[in-house]
Amino acid sequence: MDKNSNVSKQYRKAASLLTFLVICSSILSMIVSINTGGFVFNVTQSVFAQGNQTDVGNVQKESLVKDESLQQDPKNEDNAPQRGIVTNPVPQNCGINPNAPPCCTPGEDEGCIGSDNDNKTSILHLETIPQNLKQGDEFKVQATIINNLEVPIKYTGDQCGGSPLDIQFDKNVNIFYAIACQGISTETLDAHDSTTVQGKGYDVLRTENPGNVNAQVTFNYGVEGDSSNQQEITESFSFDVM
């Protein structure tokens, strides 16, 4: 009986020890699992963060490249440099106008003579009289003149066949010269006024052959108050001979 009792006690001790070892092993396994999971989680977070930083860096690089291309692309209207803009026009000398200031800006200073037709004498219209010409017809050339200056101009009048027009033809027109008297007259065209003048009365113009004719007409004039300043303007036109 005593022998069996001792065996039973030893068995219970061994069972208790085994149970304790199993419990300790389970706890140790749980601790290892928890630590391992945290390590994996931390590694995943680090990799994910690095991936986000890489993506952000790529986006920033792409944005920078686009910005640089916009700045360098001449087709981009918002970033293209502005050209042809003159902020301070250079004043021009008024030249033949004695009443204007020594230097002025065309279009801004009254009386300024610039390079456009609004600030000088010009030929507005050229035509033949009559307009419809046939072979062998005699005709005249007529010009409409406008004085855009701030002062009157003077030119040769039509007395004794005089005229301020010099006319040249390339073909199909013959010029015959009639006898002219010695009288000379002068006409005045006021500022911003217009008039019509014809070619010389002693030049008889006659069409020779059918076809197209190219003519060059020069108007000669002077500015009132400056007898030494003679000016001229030249225009071309064409007409047909039937």
- Give the chain's mean pLDDT: 73
Residue 102, classed as helix, strand or coil, is coil
Residue 163, classed as helix, strand or coil, is coil
Per-residue pLDDT tens over the stretch 81-130: 444 333 444 444 444 444 444 555 544 554 444 444 556 899 999 999 99
CATH class as words, domain 120-241: mainly beta
Distance CA 9, CA 19 (A): 15
Average pLDDT over residues 41-56: 44
Distance CA 113, CA 188 (A): 19
pLDDT of residue 63: 47
**DSSP secondary structure letter of residue 161:** G
pLDDT of residue 241: 96
Q: What residues contact 147, with CB distance under 8 A and at least 6 apart?
A: 121, 153, 189, 190, 191, 192, 193, 194
**CA distance to 36, 130, 180, per residue, from 158 (Å):** 119, 19, 11
Buried b (16+ CB within 10 A) or exposed e, 151-161: bebbbbbeeeb
Highest mean pLDDT: which range of 13-22, 26-35, 54-63, 89-98? 13-22
Q: Which of 199, 209, 214 is nearest to 134 (CA)?
A: 209
Q: Determine phi and psi for 238, rounding to 5 degrees.
A: -135, 155
pLDDT at 230 over 60: yes
Q: Determine phi and psi for 6, rounding to 5 degrees.
A: -65, -40
Would you place residue 144 in the very low, low, confident or very high pLDDT band (cuts 50, 70, 90)? very high
pLDDT of residue 11: 64
Between 190 and 226, the more confident residue is: 190
Would you place residue 19 in the very low, low, confident or very high pLDDT band (cuts 50, 70, 90)? confident
**DSSP secondary structure letter of residue 160:** G
Domain range annotation of the chain: 1-78, 86-117, 120-241
pLDDT at 215 over 60: yes
Under the phi-then-psi rule, with left for phi > 0, alpha for psi from -120 to 50, and beta for the rest, what region is 125?
beta
Would you place residue 23 in the very low, low, confident or very high pLDDT band (cuts 50, 70, 90)? confident
Rounded to two decimals, the pTM is 0.52
Highest mean pLDDT: which range of 126-130, 177-181, 223-227? 126-130
Burial category of 100 from C-beta neighbours within 10 Å (exposed 0-12, middle 13-18, buried 19 and up): buried
Least confident of 14-23, 52-61, 146-155, 161-170: 52-61
pLDDT of residue 18: 74
pLDDT at 133 over 90: yes
Between 9 and 44, the more confident residue is: 9
Distance CA 92, CA 75 (A): 36
